[in-house]
Copies of this chain bind each other. A is one copy, B any other.
Amino acid sequence: MTSSKGVGVVETRYFTFAEPPHEFVLESGEKLGPVTLAYETYGTLNEHKTNAILVLHALSGDAHAAGYHAGEEKAGWWDNFIGPGRAIDTDQYFVICSNILGGCKGSTGPKSIDPKTGKPFGLEFPDITIGDMVHAQKKLVDHLGIKKLLSVIGGSMGGMQVLAWMIHYPDRIVSAIPIATAEKHSPRQIAFDEVGRQAIMADPNWKSGAYYDGPPPAQGLAVARMLGHITYMSDISMAEKFGRKKKSANEDGPFKFTAEFEVEGYLLYRGESFVRRFDANTYLYITKAMDNFDASADRPLQDALLDKDMKVLVIAFKSDWLYPTYQSKDIVRACKQAGLETTFCEIDSTYGHDAFLLEKDDETHLIKHFLRRCYQHLHKP
């Protein structure tokens, strides 16, 4: 189904806008500038610029969605889905992915230098929203000279950005693919995020966010990430992956409350490796942005989307208990009530929320055909 070759070696680029005095106005009214977005592109933009697809990343993602950075062995976070012949076929489409505003992978965020003080923002960084992320992406799309995106696609927090694109810039998209997401967080989702934030803020190295000249709040962030990983898996996938298998004996010898079970070792490893690549303040800011996101806050989602001209593909996963299918169905209902051409598919996966990164065959089938249909519709004689 997919080609064995991906997009190859890629490079991250940077786009800076809102150079003073033209500051970027956030939804809160606060101003921020200059703003830099790190981004990557794959494939070739066609002559009429009608084949561009914007990929939107989740909590721990970044601009590096596909291919390899020179000298690195790890492919981009959605490499299985982006490349020649893949779900988002780079022989046909031009793919853009940018690190979100507030991120820590090259875009302006809490660890960036505050031009007013010459020091990292820390908690002086303004509150941001999912809408702000999307408004910044729109500047990048303008900069690339693209009037209308063929599609916006993303899972989890990326799916929230898809919804924000649908609401704020319906005339700039032909289609939208929100995956494993919600129009607003349930109290359970908020609660998990809050426990993660409390773990970070309880770490004495956090220092109210002003830790950039010392050690980061690594233990707190690791605890937050461990918890995250539990919520990304399903009861079944954890049972299949780990069962009650014990770790092989530690070289240092066992001591009390060392990880004994493989599942504990896995979570510790994932927590520790996350800490090396992620900024704790970004974790705080963007989980808050997710918790505060409510696509129906001002008026019902169906009213916001009423009679807009776009096709929508909503994908959910059966074992995803973090973003349960009922939340995707709420989105589908709103889209249909608004009169949008909407397709819904619940994939029968056991991977839990992680399925949006893993269910390659089923998702590829759905996304590939949906995009082809959108492209053909756009170019029909």
* Contact surface of A with B, Cβ cutoff 8 Å: 123, 127, 184-188, 190-192, 194-195, 197-199, 201-204, 209, 219-220, 222-223, 226-227, 229-230, 233, 235, 238-239, 241-244, 256-257, 259-264, 267-268, 271, 284, 288, 291-292, 294, 321, 324
Write the nearest CB–CB distance from A179 to chain B, whole angstroms: 20
Q: Residues of B contacting A191 with CB < 8 Å?
A: 226, 229-230, 238, 263-264, 267
A188-B235, A202-B203, A203-B202 are contacts. A195–B267 as well, Cβ < 8 Å?
yes
Q: Do residues A202 and B186 form an inter-chain contact, with CB atoms below 8 A? A: no
Q: Residues of B contacting A223 with CB < 8 Å?
A: 195, 198-199, 202, 223
Q: Residues of B contacting A202 with CB < 8 Å?
A: 199, 202-203, 219-220, 222-223
CA distance A69 to B202 in the complex (A): 34
Q: Do residues A244 and B198 form an inter-chain contact, with CB atoms below 8 A? A: no
Q: Do residues A197 and B257 form an inter-chain contact, with CB atoms below 8 A? A: yes
Q: Do residues B127 and A194 form an inter-chain contact, with CB atoms below 8 A? A: no
Q: Do residues A284 and B257 form an inter-chain contact, with CB atoms below 8 A? A: yes
Q: Do residues A235 and B186 form an inter-chain contact, with CB atoms below 8 A? A: yes
Q: Residues of B contacting A259 with CB < 8 Å?
A: 194
Chain B residue nearest to A199 in the complex (CB): B223
Q: Do residues A190 and B256 form an inter-chain contact, with CB atoms below 8 A? A: no
Chain B residue nearest to A233 in the complex (CB): B188
Write the nearest CB–CB distance from A363 to chain B, whole angstroms: 24
Q: Do residues B264 and A194 form an inter-chain contact, with CB atoms below 8 A? A: yes
Q: Do residues A194 and B267 form an inter-chain contact, with CB atoms below 8 A? A: yes
CA distance A243 to B243 in the complex (A): 34
Which of A199, A209, A244 has the largest number of chain B CB atoms within 10 A?
Answer: A199
